[in-house]
């Protein structure tokens, strides 16, 4: 039935026609759809605007066609900044003069202000600056050794070797006496001043 309706009456098969004759429901459905199609197409075809409408229609179409054919000769609009430069505003002469004078005075004032600023001497500002202090220390150590004892120890028995060595090491740490001792150099301490107040 779908084929019959969509394809039109040109292609109904013999079997389909027999089925439509036998099945009353199918026939009713088919008739309803066919009548729908008939009513719709006839109604669509029957409506048309009146003849008078067409004269206006063609006139407006002609106007549009002519307008589309003739390229619109519109001068390209200048940009806003070009317009800004070309635009003139009528101003009374006294007001114009006053504005010019005001502008000149403002220019003069600003130029003078800039020159006086340049002539001013540079001011020195003193302010404490924290600088890290690097301390350099040279320590000289004088070591005294009892040479004789060392020689004796070398010639002595091997059994007492370790104890002798320990004693000699002990004598290295604590010298017997400091009478007559004169250090070659003293501790040299270099202090870079200028740091914080606590440092010396």
**Any contact of residue 60 with another protein (CB under 8 A)?**
yes
Binding mask 103-142 for another protein (x = CB under 8 A): ----------------------------------------
**Any contact of residue 51 with another protein (CB under 8 A)?**
yes
Angstrom distance (rounded) from CA 23 to CA 16: 10
Structure token digits, residue 68: 């589309």
- The DSSP bridge pattern shows strands 136-138 and 188-190 to be antiparallel
Out of 69, 117, 126, 137, name the contact with another protein by CB under 8 A. Answer: 69
**Any contact of residue 10 with another protein (CB under 8 A)?**
yes
The H or E element containing residue 150 is helix 147-155
Give the number of other Cβ atoms within 10 Å of residue 79's Cβ.
8
Out of 15, 19, 22, 41, name the contact with another protein by CB under 8 A. Answer: 41
Closest CA to 167 of 150, 143, 148: 150
Interface residue list for another protein (CB under 8 A) = 2, 4-7, 9-10, 12, 14, 17, 20-21, 24, 27-28, 30-37, 39-41, 43-54, 57-58, 60-62, 64-66, 68-69
């Amino acid at each position: 039935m779908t084929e019959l309706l969509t394809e039109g009456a040109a292609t109904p098969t013999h079997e389909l026609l027999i089925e439509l004759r036998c099945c009353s429901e199918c026939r009713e459905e088919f008739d309803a759809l066919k009548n729908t199609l008939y009513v719709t197409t006839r109604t669509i075809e029957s409506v048309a605007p009146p003849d008078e409408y067409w004269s206006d229609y063609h006139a407006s179409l002609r106007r549009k066609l002519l307008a589309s054919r003739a390229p619109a000769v519109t001068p390209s609009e200048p940009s806003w900044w070009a317009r800004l430069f070309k635009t003139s505003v009528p101003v009374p002469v006294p007001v114009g003069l006053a504005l010019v004078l005001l502008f000149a005075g403002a220019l003069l004032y600003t130029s003078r202000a800039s020159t006086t600023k340049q002539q001013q001497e540079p001011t020195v500002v003193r302010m404490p600056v924290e600088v890290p202090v690097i301390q350099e220390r040279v320590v000289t150590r004088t070591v005294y050794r009892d040479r004789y004892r060392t020689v004796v120890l070398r010639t002595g028995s091997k059994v007492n070797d370790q104890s002798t060595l320990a004693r000699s090491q002990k004598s290295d740490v604590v010298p017997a006496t400091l009478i007559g001792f004169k250090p070659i150099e003293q501790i040299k301490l270099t202090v870079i001043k200028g740091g914080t107040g606590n440092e010396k």
